Structure formats: structure tokens, C-alpha cells
């Protein structure tokens, strides 16, 4: 086999084109390795080479998934590579979803071996870990070196069609595939070994992890909207002007609860967004675009809904740990129930 030919996919940020203001950047191909691609190339030590890089803005991909996917597929196909790599996306949600979507499409629609990399809490990981190899990375670009070190060797193996070891050996996120093999010790011995380790408080690796089906049953519908109190909650970071509680623009450690009594409308004079993961221009210009207080007030006046709850709850859903979001919402949910709210509109950017 000659040098392995690779096409690489990255977003507008890692291509150096721009941040959120360029997130609507449409797919474009460049016949060179760019940014993380250069680091990957170095790790391949001549065995493989990135011949082209496809760049696409994260919002463009997220908002036009079908079109973006088919445009990128066309670009990849043109080069007929031996391997396709996307990312790594770390904990960037839209980027992770884009990487997963396109890796899955290249592998399953074009039949080209492919892999990507991201942080395990990236929503793209849950969506695609079963269908493609996703190398487990740290949650920020500070983990680039580590990510590249893990991605490059696995990429070569995948391209060559070599046997891929377990997730622990190779560093990818478990795909939920079970492989039969001959163990040296029989089951009862292995089970006792594990039990002894567990009793000693030592680390042990289960051979049969329980799947995590965390689903919540839908609650009953609202019977009569005209008598219902509706609360609004957002992960879009809308806060009173000046962000009085200093909610962080990413990896938020807290949420805010703010009084909107007397507000018929949110405007740039009184509210803004604290979110650092999308272009804030539109939300700052008119915060109702994220938290529709104006419309809900109208409907309250018209008697279409009973009442708009006096407080709204908000946080920044940008690289925020799942555990934090869960904790915020547990508290928010309890308060809303205690305050007699009947239903919630939750908006996300």
C-alpha cells in the first residue's frame, strides 16, 4: 500500500476563518492540511497524508444538515481518499454533531473508512458512537496534542483494515459491540477476581456494562391553556443587561432566575445574552428572539394562556457539563412545581 490518502473535515474556527461571526461559513475545500490536520500529518510520520481539507461553519451545518452533508460528501468523494477524519471536536456541540454526521455518512454512504474524535459528553458522541469510531478526547482544544496522539494510530489501523482492539486499548468511545474471545481464565474465576477487587476498593473492569437508558416519560398535556401558568426557561443565556450574576459564557457553573413582572417585551436596553457559543448579535438586538416574552405577554393579555410565570430561568448551554445542567434543572423543576407552574417552554440556541 502506498501513502494513505486522507480527506480531513474541520470547522471555521480550526481553519482560522473566524469564530461565531463566521459560523454560517459554507462548505469549502482546500488542497492542503490545515490547523489540526498539520498536527495529524506530523503524527503519521509519512505513512499517510491529508490531501484535502473540507471546511464548514458549525451553524451552517447545524441548520442545513441534509444540504451540508451532501455538499461535503461530494467534496470528499472527488478525492476518493483511503480514509476520512473529522475533528477532533472536543466539547463543541454543533461541531461534534457535524463531525459525527459526516463521518457516519462517509463511512456508510461512500464506503470509505472514517473516524472522528470528541469529548464523551459532546451530543455528537451519543448520536454516533454506535456507528463510527469516535476517539475520546478532552473537553477543550487544550487537549489537541493528546487527541492527535490517539487519533493518528487508530486512523492508520482503520485505513489499513487492521483489527481494532477494545475501546480501552485504542482510546475510542465504546460502540456497544461485544466480541467473543477465548479468555485464559474461566468465567467463575474472573467473576471472583472482580469481586475481590471490588471488595478491596480497587479498580476493576466489568465485562458486561449495563446500558444507560435514561429516559423520562412524557407528562400529561395541559388541559386548559387559558388557565395555565407557563414558565420560560432557556439555555440560550438571556440575562438582564450587565449579567448581574456573572453567568459564564461557556462551561456555566450556575443558572439565573430573573423577575420579568412588568416586562411586555425584552429589548437591548434591558436584556442581553451571556452565551459565548453563538453569534450574540441577534439575541442582543432583540432578546425575544431567544426568550419570547413579547408574544407570551400578548397571549396572556388575550387570555390564550392563563399567566406567564413571574420568573424566567436561564443558563448558558455551551460546553456546560451534563452533571451541572442536570443539577440546575433539578432545582429549577422543583421551584417551578412549588410555584404552581403548569408547563414549561424551554428554548435552546
Residues that bind another protein (CB under 8 A): 20, 23, 59, 62-63, 65, 93-94, 97, 123, 126-127, 214-222, 225, 228, 230, 233, 235-236, 278-283, 285-286, 288-292, 294-296, 298-299, 304-305, 315, 317, 325-326, 328-330, 332-334, 336-337, 341-349
- As to burial, measured by CB atoms within 10 angstroms (0-12 exposed, 13-18 middle, 19+ buried), residue 14 is buried
End-to-end Cα, the chain, rounded Å: 46
Nearest distance from residue 339's CB to another protein, in Å?
A: 11
Nearer Cβ to another protein (134/148): 134
Nearest-angstrom CA–CA distance, 10 and 335: 42
Q: 136 has which bridge partners?
A: 118
> Which residue shows C-alpha cell 479498580?
203
Nearest distance from residue 246's CB to another protein, in Å?
A: 20
Q: What is the largest CA-CA distance in the chain?
A: 74
Nearer Cβ to another protein (53/107): 107
Nearest distance from residue 151's CB to another protein, in Å?
A: 23
* Sign of the torsion formed by the C-alpha atoms of 11, 17, 20 and 26: negative
Nearest distance from residue 178's CB to another protein, in Å?
A: 23
Nearer Cβ to another protein (107/318): 318
Nearer Cβ to another protein (159/283): 283
Nearer Cβ to another protein (200/215): 215
Nearest-angstrom CA–CA distance, 4 and 219: 53
* DSSP code of residue 23: T
Residues 87/96, Cβ–Cβ less than 8 Å: yes
Amino acid at each position: 500500500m502506498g501513502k494513505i490518502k486522507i480527506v480531513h473535515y474541520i470547522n471555521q474556527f480550526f481553519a482560522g476563518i473566524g469564530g461565531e461571526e463566521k459560523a454560517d461559513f459554507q462548505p469549502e475545500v482546500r488542497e492542503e492540511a490545515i490547523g489540526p490536520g498539520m498536527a495529524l500529518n506530523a503524527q503519521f510520520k509519512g505513512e499517510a497524508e491529508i490531501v484535502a481539507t473540507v471546511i464548514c461553519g458549525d451553524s451552517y451545518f447545524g441548520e442545513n444538515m441534509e444540504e451540508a452533508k451532501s455538499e461535503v460528501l461530494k467534496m470528499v468523494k472527488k478525492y476518493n481518499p483511503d480514509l476520512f477524519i473529522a475533528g477532533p471536536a472536543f466539547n463543541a456541540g454543533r461541531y461534534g454533531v457535524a463531525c459525527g454526521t459526516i463521518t457516519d455518512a462517509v463511512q456508510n454512504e461512500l464506503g470509505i473508512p472514517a473516524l472522528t474524535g470528541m469529548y464523551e459528553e459532546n451530543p455528537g458522541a451519543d448520536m454516533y458512537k454506535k456507528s463510527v469510531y469516535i476517539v475520546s478526547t478532552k473537553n477543550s482544544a487544550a487537549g489537541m496534542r493528546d487527541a492527535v496522539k490517539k487519533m493518528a494510530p487508530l486512523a492508520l489501523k482503520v485505513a489499513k483494515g487492521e483489527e481494532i482492539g477494545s475501546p480501552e486499548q485504542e482510546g475510542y468511545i465504546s460502540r456497544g459491540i461485544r466480541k467473543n474471545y477465548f479468555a485464559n481464565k474461566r468465567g467463575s474465576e474472573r467473576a471472583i477476581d472482580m469481586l475481590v477487587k471490588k471488595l478491596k476498593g480497587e479498580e476493576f473492569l466489568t465485562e458486561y456494562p449495563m446500558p444507560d437508558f435514561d429516559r423520562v416519560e412524557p407528562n400529561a398535556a395541559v388541559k386548559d391553556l387559558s388557565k395555565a401558568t407557563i414558565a420560560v426557561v432557556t439555555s440560550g443565556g438571556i440575562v438582564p443587561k450587565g449579567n448581574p450574576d456573572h453567568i459564564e459564557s461557556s462551561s456555566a457553573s450556575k443558572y439565573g432566575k430573573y423577575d420579568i413582572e412588568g416586562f411586555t417585551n425584552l429589548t437591548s436596553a434591558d436584556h442581553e445574552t451571556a452565551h459565548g457559543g453563538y453569534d450574540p448579535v441577534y439575541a442582543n438586538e432583540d432578546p425575544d428572539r431567544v426568550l419570547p416574552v413579547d408574544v407570551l405577554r400578548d397571549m396572556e393579555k388575550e387570555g390564550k394562556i392563563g399567566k406567564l410565570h413571574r420568573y424566567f430561568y436561564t443558563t448558558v448551554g455551551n460546553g456546560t457539563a451534563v452533571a451541572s445542567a442536570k443539577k440546575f434543572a433539578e432545582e429549577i423543576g422543583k421551584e417551578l412545581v412549588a410555584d404552581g407552574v403548569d408547563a414549561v417552554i424551554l428554548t435552546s440556541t
